[in-house]
Amino acid sequence: MRKLVALDLPGGDLFRFLTEKCFENGDAILPLDTRLSKHAKQRIIKLLRPNYIITPTGNSVEASSRSENILDRYVITGKTGVLRDFETVALKDGVGTEDGDGVVIPTSGTTGTPKGVVIGIDALLASAQATNRYLKTNPGQDKWLCCLPVSHIGGLSIITRGILTGTEVVAIAKFDKETIVGLIKEEKVNLTSLVPTTLDRLGNTYADQFRKILLGGSKLPDNTPSNVIKTYGMTETASGVVYDGNILDGMELAFRSIDKANSVIDRSLKEGEICLRGAMLFKNYRFANETSKLDGWFPTGDAGKLDQCGKLIVDGRIAELIITGGEKVWPSHVEKVILKTKGIAEAVVAGMEDKIWGQKVVAFLVKHETGEKVDIASLKESIKDEIGPWAVPKSLYLVNQIPKTAIGKPIKSQLTAYALEGRIPLIDKDRSLGTGFSVQD
């Protein structure tokens, strides 16, 4: 049985080097998020049980045996000095992986216990090759920049793409605009993956200097520069599998009804729960007894539809669908309308339990730093006109910032919990929130 090696390292040359050596040795990697607390890392280790952890010396997250140092078999000329700053912790209760396993990635776990997604080398290679074909990548000329966390598939897939296809990669520990600007000039990086927040922080001037930017995340903006490709994918698909609404080579797309429990996949449907099948799918969840696929199809838990051109439009997570008074409301649709309102920088829409409606629509708003006035009455009227009166939020809350995961996904459960506890101010016509809001509705 092959070994599972946890890498408690940030993105960079050493992370890439050790990943490549693990692959060459037939081992799989488990990337740990270096920003997590020691307790959070221990939780993941206890759950996924790697055989080894490579971690900075003296910073061990697990007090187990150090009798064997597998770094010795990965050391080559030029790396020995660097690796002296790291140690290998061998776990007594570690469990290996199967032949062909490449990575085990913990899901974000924002709504429950994280799962270990097992992705095979074949799936990683299929993903890398499909991306290269779509982008028309030239390994001899193009150079990737990895500035997303390598503990998530968006960043890790850049590393594995470089290893498996021979494309050069420059990896940095975290997004830093000044560093990236320097790498554009000095290293000539011209391909990268970003999320909306980092794209906004980079700015159009420097974003335009990349040949292509893959943009992922749960809330993609409508308007983006021409060199930006909007992607849809997840950990279970080894990165993005839909680019600008187009399914990549090697993958199939189908739907099943979201209105019926355990509904079957129907190739004639044009909307419903998004189901995917193909070479880029993960193998299984680590230690899971039940299968997660239906005849090879993976139900994603996302809802979507095909437009008139056959391109995929993603509505959102089915679990986040709000049913209020019998009407269905997709949070993403309401958020898009809200963000058209002047003075609103960010918006998150969620459902909260309600005795009358079953669920009520609520919105959490962040004012733009310009201090421009927000007309709440106009905002509500726009939602009513574009979607329907049932989609108008029953409650609006003002927040200074939206809590997010490492890859920019809003943590809605935290927002709704704060709202229930009365920890964030409610916007209504009887309460003044300063000159920034006009609430004469």
DSSP alpha helix (H) spans, 175-301: 177-186, 196-202, 204-207
The answer, yes or no, to whether residue 66 has pLDDT greater than 50, is no
Q: What integer pLDDT is reported at residue 261 of this predicted model? A: 66
Are the CB atoms for 189 and 210 separated by under 8 Å?
yes
What end-to-end distance do the CA atoms of the chain give, in Å?
A: 66
Q: What distance in Å separates the CA atoms of residue 179 and residue 175, rounded to the nearest whole number?
A: 8
Q: Give the count of beta carbons closer than 10 Å to the beta carbon of residue 246.
A: 16
Please name every residue paired with 378 in a beta bridge, in sequence order, or none if there are none.
Answer: none
Q: Which residue has the higher pLDDT, 52 or 289?
A: 52
Contacts by residues 224-231 (CB-CB < 8 Å, ≥ 24 positions apart) = 224/199, 228/199, 229/134, 229/135
Q: Which amino acid makes up residue 393?
A: P
Cα-based distances in Å from 193 to 124, 175, 182, 229, 325: 16, 11, 17, 9, 40
Q: What integer pLDDT is reported at residue 433 of this predicted model? A: 42
The answer, yes or no, to whether residue 437 has pLDDT greater than 60, is no
Proportion of the chain above pLDDT 70, given as a percent:
89
Q: What integer pLDDT is reported at residue 56 of this predicted model? A: 82
DSSP alpha helix (H) spans, 326-435: 331-338, 376-386, 412-420
Q: Which residues contact 187 (CB under 8 A, 6 or more apart)?
A: 143, 145, 170
- Sheet holding 212-215: strands in order across? 168-171, 143-146, 191-194, 212-215, 228-234, 239-243, 246-247
Q: Which helix (H) or strand (E) holds 315?
A: strand 312-317
147-169: pLDDT as tens digits: 999 999 999 999 999 999 999 99
Per-chain mean pLDDT for the chain: 87
The answer, yes or no, to whether residue 405 has pLDDT greater than 70, is yes
Superfamily for domain range 4-306: ANL, N-terminal domain (3.40.50.12780)
Sketch the domain layout of the chain as residue ranges. Answer: 4-306, 321-438
- Name the range with the highest mean pLDDT among 128-132, 139-143, 219-223: 128-132
Q: What integer pLDDT is reported at residue 152 of this predicted model? A: 93
DSSP state for residue 404 in the 8-state scheme: B
**Alpha carbon 34 to its chain's center:** 17
Q: What integer pLDDT is reported at residue 75 of this predicted model? A: 44
DSSP state for residue 248 in the 8-state scheme: P
Proportion of the chain above pLDDT 90, given as a percent:
62
Are the CB atoms for 33 and 59 separated by under 8 Å?
no
Instruction: Give the orientation angle of helix 376-386 with respect to helix 331-338, to 10 degrees.
Output: 130
Q: What integer pLDDT is reported at residue 440 of this predicted model? A: 32
CATH topology assigned to domain 321-438: GMP Synthetase; Chain A, domain 3 (3.30.300)
Cα-based distances in Å from 383 to 128, 222, 327, 376, 435: 41, 17, 14, 11, 23
CA-based nearest residue to 406, from 36, 104, 4: 36
Q: Which residue has the higher pLDDT, 408 or 68?
A: 408
Cα-based distances in Å from 247 to 10, 28, 184, 275: 31, 28, 30, 12
209-254: pLDDT as tens digits: 999 999 998 678 778 899 999 999 999 999 999 999 999 999 999 9
Q: What integer pLDDT is reported at residue 59 of this predicted model? A: 66
Q: Which residues contact 226 (CB under 8 A, 6 or more apart)?
A: none
Q: What integer pLDDT is reported at residue 62 of this predicted model? A: 58
Q: Which residues contact 415 (CB under 8 A, 6 or more apart)?
A: 348, 350, 364, 397, 399, 402, 403, 424
Q: What distance in Å separates the CA atoms of residue 78 and residue 123, rounded to the nearest whole number?
A: 31
Q: How would you write 265-304 as a 3-class SS string?
A: EECCCCEEEEEEEECCCCCEECCCCCCCCECCEEEEEEEE
pTM above 0.85, yes or no: no
Q: What integer pLDDT is reported at residue 215 of this predicted model? A: 95
